[in-house]
Amino acid sequence: MLTRIDHIGIACFDLDATVEFYRATYGFEVHHSEINEEQGVREAMLRINGTDDGAASYLQLLQPIREDSPVGKWLAKNGEGVHHIAFGTADVDADSEGIRDKGVRVLYDKPRRGSMDSRITFLHPKDCHGVLTEIVTAASAQAPGDSSGH
Amino acid sequence: MLTRIDHIGIACFDLDATVEFYRATYGFEVHHSEINEEQGVREAMLRINGTDDGAASYLQLLQPIREDSPVGKWLAKNGEGVHHIAFGTADVDADSEGIRDKGVRVLYDKPRRGSMDSRITFLHPKDCHGVLTEIVTAASAQAPGDSSGH
């Protein structure tokens, strides 16, 4: 069951400049930053608010580290802007399988590692009215010792 | 002070079909629907979660009722997808003036009426790293009798 807007993923050319824009304009601060080699991005998570399922909603700012990464190719075509949206669930495995059973293309066979040791998958935007949609289970919602997606 | 992701605005060609997609795929239900003649849209608000500032986060599904409306022109150019993101505040007037003072173009001189009797304004996407950004004060956060934006 999807219980929150987990994050909005925003692609940018210059992560540091974009982080500074969000800080200077709105006062949003970086909660976490990392490089995800598999996804081919540098990223910063800005925590915006807590959510009533015990988690939080973030902006995820993404700069490609390779031109041939999915975000790199998307940026070259579209320019800066909203790249994807993500819904949070306690069980990305069950929810993504349930969604696959409804005929929506799920892009990974099994969830992969996302920001902050979350486990994530993506749904094909053409099956979601044009919206690249991520499903995510936060690390804090995973069973202790669960590293099946890492 | 911006205290939540208020909503993600998604432009679609067929509001009823898109509402049905979100219901059938994720179980999201329509919390509110209306026609905003000024904005030139039919819209449905799907409530996703509560937020720790006492409000909530929504998906806002938008279908243009006129081809020459901003959403209609955007759809003709881009196809279906994320049209804008919105941050919630208790005081859209003060925050939008503060943002304007930082050199970001605010699209309305004064906030206008948004979904569910909220008061809203927009920031120019070219000043926001490609993201059309809305600032919104929910009706419940406005002082009793405050109709300055209606």
**Which tens digits make up the pLDDT trace of A48-77?**
999 999 999 999 999 999 999 999 999 999
Question: Which active-site residues of B does the annotation give?
Answer: 7, 43, 60, 84, 134
Tokens linked to A127: 């099956």
| Residue range B36-94, pLDDT digits in tens | 998 999 999 999 999 999 999 999 999 999 999 999 999 999 999 999 999 999 999 99
ipTM: 0.94
Residues on chain A touching B85 (C-beta within 8 angstroms): 8, 82
| pLDDT greater than 80 at residue A150 | no
Question: What DSSP letter does each residue of A17-67 carry, written as one string?
Answer: HHHHHHHHHH---EEEEEEETTTTEEEEEEEEEEBTTS-EEEEEEEEESST
Give the residue numbers in B contacting A (CB under 8 Å), as ranges: 1-5, 8, 10, 12, 18, 21, 24-28, 48-53, 57, 59, 79-82, 85, 87, 99, 102, 104, 125, 128-131
User: In the predicted model, what is the mean pLDDT of residues A122-132?
Assistant: 98
Our answer to whether residue A31 is catalytic in this structure is no
Structure confidence by residue, pLDDT tens digits, B89-110: 999 999 999 999 999 999 999 9
Mean pLDDT over B126-145 rounds to: 89
Give the CA count within 13 Å in the CB-facing half-sphere of B4: 27
Please list the helix, strand and coil fractions of chain A in percent, rounded to the nearest 5, in that order. 25, 40, 35
Which of B12, B16, B71 minimizes the C-alpha distance to A125?
A: B12
**Helix (H) or strand (E) run with residue A93 in it:** helix A92-101
Burial (CB < 10 A; 0-12, 13-18, 19+), residue A3, is: middle
For residue A12, which residues of chain B lie inside 8 Å, CB to CB? Answer: 129-130
Residue that wins the pLDDT comparison between B6 and A150: B6
Confidence at residue B146, expressed as pLDDT on a 0 to 100 scale: 53
The CATH class given to the A2-141 domain equals alpha beta
Domain ranges in chain B are 2-141
Is the CB of A128 less than 8 angstroms away from the CB of B27?
A: no
Residues of A within 8 A of B16 (CB-CB) are none
CB contact under 8 A, B10 and A129: yes
